[in-house]
Amino acid sequence: MSTRQIASSTLWQIASQAVMAVLSIITVKFVAIALSKELAGNYNSVYSFLQIFGILADFGLYAVAVREVARAPAQSSVHGKEGISKERVMGALIILRSIILCISLAAALLIVWTVPAWRGTPLPMGVTIASLVPFFTLLAGIQRTVFQVTYKMHFVFIAEVMQRIVSVSLITIIVIMGIRNSQELWVYNNVLAAGAAGAFVLFCFSTWYAQRLMPVRLGWDRDLILSLLKQAAPYGLAFLCTALYRQMDVTLIALIRPDYEVQNAYYGFALRATEMAYLIPTFLLNSTLPVLSERDAKGEDTRSIVGKTFFIILLLGSTASLFAAVWARPVMQLLTTDTYLSHGAQAGSDTALALLSIPMFLNGIVLFCFYSLLTKHAWKPLAATLGLGALLSLSLNMMLIPRWGFVGSCSASIITHLFLVCALLPQTLKKLPMQITDTQVKQWILYTLLLGAALFLFRTFLTVEWVTALGLIGAGLWIGVIAWGTGIVKALRG
């Protein structure tokens, strides 16, 4: 597969997320308008709690699926693993995903309904309704493998945009009805149900398109399923550790802090703003993984493609981090309402977003290391390091949350990500060397300086929401100008 195909695949995913980001802004804005701060905190707590079990339900299957389906022949020709077709591998993956998904979500529901601290709160019913979101999203997600390995990511664009349009439309109806700052549980439940409806649409579209490209052969192949489970298990453990250090803080706030609703109202919306920064590097690495695995399996030199991938990771990380750090207040004002901004001695969503700008940058490097070690199947050092990171994160959160709330969680995230980068990057470079040139390093530094200077100079003008919206458009154009002017575009095309 060519660099052009990788770029096309990644750009389709970025385009999908760009459209969804706009729709997400509307969603978050309307949720902040429609629900009281307490119910908004429960809303954010619900999704953060479910993300832990959603990552557990993924169990590393998607990453393994991309690799195994890419390597499998188009049709079965002989008996044995080497002759198992892509269609049969996909069928086994769907069955395995369904089993693990049901077990994981059943555990989530059991826990949320039995924890004493959450009895009598809106959390149990909210988790029950919203559990349909990871259920349908993950079933659709495993079929995303088909689009990934065939480089037909425009189908993902259509399915994901339709998902968000349905969810946004349903929430918009609630706002049009004149509901503001509501403390009514039926409003809260219907907002969560809107997300579930969108996830169902995503599943339907994904299934229909996937079947056109690769008709799946569902069948119980015990040996194949056990083989896939064995390959995915180490990465399932690694993903679980990732969930613990990235998602457990919101749940810990809900368990430890009596004011968790307000804490997670501030913190949760800031986390929603960071989702794009966390997802885009994943899309790039998912697009790179098939060709990298193929070349590595053939013993070809991969240093150039690894270096170019790391170069893009640095550019993406700098971009997200600078926006979060310099434009934290106007961005959160655009996403929510003024009541969620910091004032006086009260830290707000903008405080959380500014602090999270550091993990935004570091997370891309951690993901790069994750996928690189995945390519080399070096799961033992990966799982061990992520396990230490999860333990460090949990310990820091337990110490900092009682006194500092979500500010303590942000501090724990910064320390944990610094530890992971320092521990994982040397291991990764030893297993999978890269070739990154002095020119690329200089281009990244110059790009970062030019973007940071522009954001800093114009930050004082972003006092109202419509100006911030225009500012984001203008910043996007400026990114294109400096990417072209510094020669980054030409370097990536080469």
Residue 252: pLDDT band (50, 70, 90) is: very high
| Mean pLDDT of the 460-484 span | 94
- Domain assignment present for 459: no
401-427, pLDDT tens digit by residue?
999 999 999 999 999 999 999 999 999
Q: What is the pLDDT of residue 78?
A: 39
Among 8-22, 116-130, 380-394, 480-494, the minimum mean pLDDT is found in 8-22
- Domain assignment present for 482: no
- Domain assignment present for 95: yes
- Domain assignment present for 478: no
Residue 75: pLDDT band (50, 70, 90) is: low
Among 16-30, 89-103, 247-261, 288-302, the minimum mean pLDDT is found in 288-302
What is the span of the domain harbouring residue 236?
Answer: 3-436
Q: What is the pLDDT of residue 152?
A: 74
Residue 79: pLDDT band (50, 70, 90) is: very low
Q: What is the pLDDT of residue 118?
A: 93
Q: What is the pLDDT of residue 80?
A: 43
Phi and psi angles of residue 346, each rounded to the nearest 5 degrees, phi first: -95, 115
Among 173-187, 293-307, 368-382, the minimum mean pLDDT is found in 293-307
Residue 81: pLDDT band (50, 70, 90) is: very low
Partners of 346 in the β-ladder: 343
Q: How far is CA 474 from CA 56, 142, 484, in A?
A: 39, 36, 15
Dist CA 322 CA 319 (whole Å): 5
pLDDT at 201 over 90: yes
330 vs 275, higher pLDDT: 330
383-401, pLDDT tens digit by residue?
899 999 999 999 999 999 9
Q: What is the pLDDT of residue 364?
A: 92
10-61, pLDDT tens digit by residue?
666 667 667 777 787 788 899 999 999 999 999 999 998 998 888 888 777 7
Total domain count for the chain? 1
Token pair 């009596």: residue: 258
208-232, pLDDT tens digit by residue?
888 887 776 677 778 888 888 887 8
- Domain assignment present for 317: yes
Residue 72: pLDDT band (50, 70, 90) is: low
Amino acid making up residue 165: I
- Domain assignment present for 475: no
- Domain assignment present for 205: yes
- Domain assignment present for 486: no
pLDDT at 378 over 90: no
Residue 202: pLDDT band (50, 70, 90) is: very high
Q: What is the pLDDT of residue 327?
A: 97
Q: CA 111 from chain center: how many Å?
A: 24
